[in-house]
């Protein structure tokens, strides 16, 4: 992104993948989603791409679970709803496209503070924020429909991406099927039997679902056998999807982004949100068969383990047989 604050895509044909959990991370959630969509639109015109993976906090919010929403998150939802009506006549698409800029202007010129704790002590204000968020994120709501355009799993070239982890039984169930069922649920579209689409448990609920699994992302395994078992399960999942490696988030890595299982799993959640570890940002970069970690603290840190090979992007994004 350009350094002049104009939110211009400068990545050319680069492919950017955001690994999930934008929601429940403070007061700029809709702003970040709007910015990612804006950058994605520009990237496509340059031959690049911006993809988002759904995390457990996205699916929790669509399910109505607001336990981890910051007060500023409710305030932003209310402010966005008011902006949508007053400036765009209720045109959600137009409001969402420009919100990444409009929200910052509101903060500057109207002294809107999404970070304050006042709503917690103002029941009426709090109720309005909850109502606005519920309307946006309930299945079929405008923000839920926007999230529904993203999957819980993505494959770019030889690499799989998921928030929690891909297990063999996920592959057996069908990765494409999971993406489709999550999308139908978020859009509140009836299934082929004419019944309202249900939340797909295997994708979004349970400790071993694709957005909740921490099998691969534990910083330290309790026993060597546990590591061997996890790497064996990973190998089976990668073999079944003809993939070289898997990239996950979900569990903050206090040591920074890192890999295990001979470079077949990369754990890239560093907890950079102020609501988590407030760590410095890090990015996993794959260029010309070389994998490295970029960080603010250092130009890059070469992974000590032998990196897995990676080809340059071939323009194909797939989940099993999916093509875009």
Q: Which tens digit of pLDDT belongs to each residue from 60-101?
A: 999 999 999 999 999 999 999 999 999 999 999 999 999 999
Q: In this structure, is residue 120 part of a structural domain? A: no
Q: Is the pLDDT of residue 219 over 90?
A: no
> What are 191-199's contacts with CB under 8 Å, separation 24+?
197/139, 199/59, 199/63
When the pLDDT of each residue in the chain is averaged and rounded to a whole number, the result is: 87
Q: Is the pLDDT of residue 311 over 60?
A: no
Q: What is the mean pLDDT of residues 207-216?
A: 97
Which pLDDT score is estimated for 176? 97
Q: Which tens digit of pLDDT belongs to each residue from 30-41?
A: 999 999 999 999
CA neighbor of 291 nearest in space, from 272, 271, 270, 267: 267
- What's the CA gap between 87 and 71, in Å, rounded? 24
Annotated active-site residue in 57, 163, 170, 250? 57
The two structure tokens encoding residue 19: 């690994």
Q: In this structure, is residue 320 part of a structural domain? A: yes
Q: In this structure, is residue 221 part of a structural domain? A: yes
Q: In this structure, is residue 109 part of a structural domain? A: no
Give all strands (DSSP E) within the chain, no chain letters: 15-18, 49-52, 153-156, 159-162, 245-248, 258-260, 265-267, 282-287, 290-295, 301-302, 317-318
- What's the CA gap between 321 and 311, in Å, rounded? 19
Q: What is the mean pLDDT of residues 304-311?
A: 41
Q: State phi, psi for 285 to the nearest 5 degrees.
A: -120, 135
Q: In this structure, is residue 45 part of a structural domain? A: no
Q: Catalytic residue at 7?
A: no
Q: In this structure, is residue 160 part of a structural domain? A: yes
The two structure tokens encoding residue 200: 């797909």
Which pLDDT score is estimated for 271? 83
Specify the range with the lowest mean pLDDT, choosing from 257-261, 299-303, 308-312.
Answer: 308-312
Domains in the chain, number: 1
Q: Is the pLDDT of residue 304 over 80?
A: no
Q: Which tens digit of pLDDT belongs to each residue from 187-202?
A: 999 877 778 888 999 9
* Containing structural domain, residue 223: 53-62+147-324
Domain harbouring 157, CATH code? 3.60.21.10
- What's the CA gap between 150 and 49, in Å, rounded? 13
Q: What is the mean pLDDT of residues 152-163?
A: 96
Q: In this structure, is residue 297 part of a structural domain? A: yes
Q: How far is CA 12 from CA 1, 7, 15, 40, 264, in A?
A: 10, 14, 9, 11, 27
Looking at the chain, the whole-number percentage of residues with pLDDT higher than 90 is 68
Q: Is the pLDDT of residue 273 over 70?
A: yes
Q: In this structure, is residue 137 part of a structural domain? A: no
pLDDT band for position 213 (cuts 50, 70, 90): very high
Q: State phi, psi for 155 to the nearest 5 degrees.
A: -125, 125
Which pLDDT score is estimated for 110? 65
């Amino acid at each position: 992104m350009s350094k002049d604050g104009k939110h211009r895509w400068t990545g050319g044909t680069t492919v950017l993948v955001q690994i999930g959990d934008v929601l429940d991370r403070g007061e700029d959630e809709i702003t970040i989603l709007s910015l990612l969509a804006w950058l994605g639109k520009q990237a496509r015109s340059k031959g690049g791409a911006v993809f988002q993976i759904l995390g457990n906090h996205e699916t929790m919010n669509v399910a109505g679970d607001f336990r981890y929403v910051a007060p500023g998150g409710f305030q932003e939802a209310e402010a966005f709803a008011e902006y949508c009506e007053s400036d765009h006549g209720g045109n959600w698409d137009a409001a969402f496209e420009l919100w990444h800029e409009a929200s910052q202007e509101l903060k500057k010129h109207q002294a809107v503070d999404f970070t304050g704790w006042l709503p917690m002590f103002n029941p009426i204000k709090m109720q309005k924020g909850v109502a606005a968020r519920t309307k946006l994120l309930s299945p079929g709501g405008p923000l839920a429909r926007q999230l529904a355009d993203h999957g819980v799993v993505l494959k770019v070239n030889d690499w799989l991406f998921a928030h929690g982890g891909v297990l063999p039984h996920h592959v057996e169930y069908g990765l494409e099927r999971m993406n489709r069922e999550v999308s139908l649920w978020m859009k509140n579209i009836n299934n082929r039997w004419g019944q309202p689409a249900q939340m797909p448990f295997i994708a979004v609920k349970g400790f071993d679902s694709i957005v909740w699994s921490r099998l691969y992302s534990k910083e330290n395994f309790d026993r060597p056998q546990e590591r061997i078992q996890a790497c064996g399960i990973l190998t089976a999942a990668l073999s079944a999807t003809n993939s070289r490696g898997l990239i996950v988030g979900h569990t903050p890595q206090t040591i920074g982004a890192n890999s295990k299982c001979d470079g077949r799993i990369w754990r890239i959640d560093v907890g950079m949100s102020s609501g988590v570890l407030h760590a410095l940002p890090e990015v996993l970069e794959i260029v010309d068969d070389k994998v490295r970690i970029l960080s603010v603290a250092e130009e890059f840190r070469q992974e000590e383990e032998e990196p897995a090979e990676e080809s340059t992007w071939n323009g194909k994004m797939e989940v099993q047989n999916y093509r875009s």
